[in-house]
C-alpha cells in the first residue's frame, strides 16, 4: 500500500537533508547522495516541500517509466538561516523598526495625565512640562513608561497569549 504524502513528510529527515545540503554549500548534491537520508518517494516529497518553502533549490526530471525524479538539491540562504541557531543573517536583515512620532507620544501622555485622578493644578503643571519637553525627553519617558507598563502586567505570557 502506497503511503500518503502527509505520512512521508518527516521533520527529522527534513532537518537531516538540510544539514547534508548545507555541508556541500554552495554546491549541489546529487539525489543519490541524499537517498540514504530519506529513501524513495520520501526524498522527492520532502525536498519538494522544502523547495516550496524556499529552503532548498532542486531539479526534478520527468521520466516516462519512473515519473518525476529528483536530480539534485541545494540549500538556499534562507535554508541556512533556518537551521542556524541564531536565525542567521535573515534575523538581522529582517528586523523591523517601529517609530513613534514624539507628538503622538506626547498627546498620549497628556491624555493619560488629564484622565488621572490628581488635582487640576498638578495636571496643568504636568501638561505644561510635557508640552515644553524636547524630543529626547519624550523618548526617555516613553522607554520608562513601556518598562513600567510591562512590569505592571501580572502575567506577560498570558497577556501576550490572549492578544496573539
CATH number, domain of 80, equals 1.10.10.10
Task: For residue 2, give the C-alpha cell.
Answer: 502506497
Taking the chain, what is the end-to-end CA distance rounded to the nearest angstrom?
42
- Same domain? For 40 and 77 the reply is yes
- Total length of the chain: 164
State the alpha helices, DSSP H only, in 2-101.
5-8, 11-24, 31-34, 41-52, 77-83, 88-93
- Same domain? For 110 and 72 the reply is no
- Opening angle at CA 116, ends 114 and 122, nearest 5: 70
Q: Which residues pair with 75 in a beta bridge?
A: 56
Domain, as residue range, for 114 = 102-163
- Same domain? For 61 and 135 the reply is no
pLDDT at 100: 80
Place 48 in a pLDDT band, splitting at 50, 70 and 90: very high
- Same domain? For 88 and 36 the reply is yes
The per-residue pLDDT for range 55-98, each reduced to its tens digit, is 999 999 999 998 899 999 999 999 999 998 777 787 778 777 77
pLDDT at 1: 47
User: What pTM, to 2 d.p., does this model score?
Assistant: 0.59
Amino acid at each position: 500500500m502506497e503511503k500518503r504524502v502527509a505520512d512521508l513528510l518527516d521533520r527529522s529527515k527534513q532537518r537531516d537533508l538540510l544539514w547534508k545540503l548545507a555541508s556541500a554549500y554552495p554546491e549541489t548534491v546529487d539525489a543519490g547522495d541524499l537517498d540514504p537520508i530519506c529513501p524513495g518517494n520520501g526524498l522527492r516529497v520532502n525536498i519538494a516541500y522544502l523547495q516550496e518553502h524556499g529552503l532548498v533549490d532542486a531539479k526534478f526530471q520527468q521520466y516516462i517509466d519512473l515519473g518525476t525524479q529528483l536530480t539534485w538539491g541545494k540549500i538556499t540562504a534562507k535554508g541556512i538561516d533556518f537551521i542556524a541557531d541564531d536565525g542567521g543573517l535573515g534575523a538581522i536583515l529582517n528586523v523591523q523598526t517601529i517609530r513613534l512620532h514624539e507628538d503622538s507620544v506626547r498627546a498620549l501622555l497628556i491624555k493619560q495625565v488629564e484622565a488621572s485622578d490628581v488635582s487640576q493644578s498638578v495636571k496643568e503643571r504636568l501638561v505644561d512640562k510635557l508640552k515644553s519637553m524636547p524630543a529626547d525627553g519624550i523618548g526617555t519617558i516613553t522607554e520608562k513608561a513601556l518598562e513600567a507598563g510591562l512590569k505592571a502586567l501580572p502575567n506577560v505570557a498570558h497577556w501576550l497569549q490572549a492578544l496573539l
